[in-house]
Chains A and B, each alone.
Chain A
Amino acid sequence: MNLYTFSSPVNFYHLSGKLIPWFTALAILFTLAGLYIGFFIAPTDFQQGEAYRIIFIHVPAAWMSMFIYLVMAFWGAIGLAFNTRMSFMMARALAPTGALFTFLALWTGAWWGKPMWGAWWVWDARLTSELILLFLYIGIIALWAAIDDIKRGDRAGALLTLIGAINIPIIYFSVKWWNTLHQGASINLMKAPTMAKTMLIGMLVMAFAAWFYTLAVAFMRARGIILERERQSEWVKAILEKD
């Protein structure tokens, strides 16, 4: 067994089938733990009262929206460079979940902005660049759907993903580069955390939950894509026969 074992669809299919139940269980466990910490252990914020508790989904969702995009761009680049089949399939499997987290980051942001800023939406740099990220996800998914030829679709989608990747540093640094209404980064690796430790832990636990959730659903989606693309191979025929 070597590093390339799981770049073959058949190996990935079988391995992911074994891993998905574990990722699902971990996602549920981390969600329950994160919610418990977020609602019953983390203290009330001295400035924002209880409204700040939206942070436990808002920040993990926003992190995932950017992180999933970077992973898609990574797989797109690998696919374009080495023409590996699994890379393109992973990129396709991740996109809907990335779009979902982007939507949730925007939605929970709006429901946090309304009581704190007095507005559901403002055209500030952070919010606008995150909205562009949602449009990028939708654009990439639509591009894949529009191109019938699988290989051409894969390449076009990967190219668009890579071009759009310029938006990720813009989102991340927007709160530094421009005067925004949005507050600064929640976690800064260079500085000691400014928030209560339990708030920070709750946020990180929820981020892990989002991670495992993403792994579970992306792997499930990838398995469907594999069956579709490999349907002429003997191993897929054998699996379908057992259905």
Chain B
Amino acid sequence: MEWASWSEFWSMGGYGLYVWGSYGATFIAILIEVMFLRRASKDTRRRLKRMQQWDLSSSGEAQ
């Protein structure tokens, strides 16, 4: 174990800002990508579903 205490861990030998600035940004970036991706996938399915129902109902009227 490298650290005597949690405060020592968070201070990273005085480089805390830089270390956590890097890890924090990475965490946020990945969170944003995953969130956007999930929402986009859901939106795509919903939109395609709507288009399909619209196609079905309009072809039904034509008959």
* A interface residues, Cβ below 8 angstroms from B: 39-44, 49-51, 53-54, 57-58, 61, 96-97, 100, 103-104, 107-108, 111-112, 114-115, 213, 217, 220-221, 223-224, 227-228, 231, 236-237, 240-241, 243
Contacts and interface: CB of A to CB of B under 8 A. Distances in A.
A224 B44 contact: yes
B22 A54 contact: yes
Interface residues of B, number: 30
Interface string B17-55: 011011101100110011001101100111011011000
Interface of B: 1-3, 9, 12-15, 18-19, 21-23, 25-26, 29-30, 33-34, 37-38, 40-41, 44-46, 48-49, 51-52
A46 to B, nearest CB: 12
A213 B30 contact: yes
Residue of B9, B18, B37, B40 with highest tally of chain A CB at under 10 A: B18
A173 to B, nearest CB: 25
A217 B19 CA distance: 26
29 contacts: A39-B2, A39-B9, A40-B3, A41-B2, A42-B2, A44-B2, A50-B12, A50-B19, A51-B18, A51-B19, A53-B19, A57-B22, A57-B26, A100-B30, A107-B22, A107-B25, A111-B19, A111-B22, A111-B25, A112-B22, A115-B15, A217-B33, A217-B37, A220-B41, A221-B37, A221-B40, A224-B40, A228-B44, A243-B46
A217 B29 CA distance: 13
A44 B26 contact: no
Given A51-B12, A97-B33, A220-B37, A112 B18 contact: yes
B22 A236 contact: no
Given A39-B9, A107-B22, A227-B48, 18 more contacts: A40-B2, A42-B2, A43-B2, A50-B19, A51-B15, A53-B19, A54-B19, A57-B23, A57-B26, A58-B22, A100-B30, A104-B26, A108-B25, A111-B22, A115-B15, A224-B41, A224-B44, A241-B52
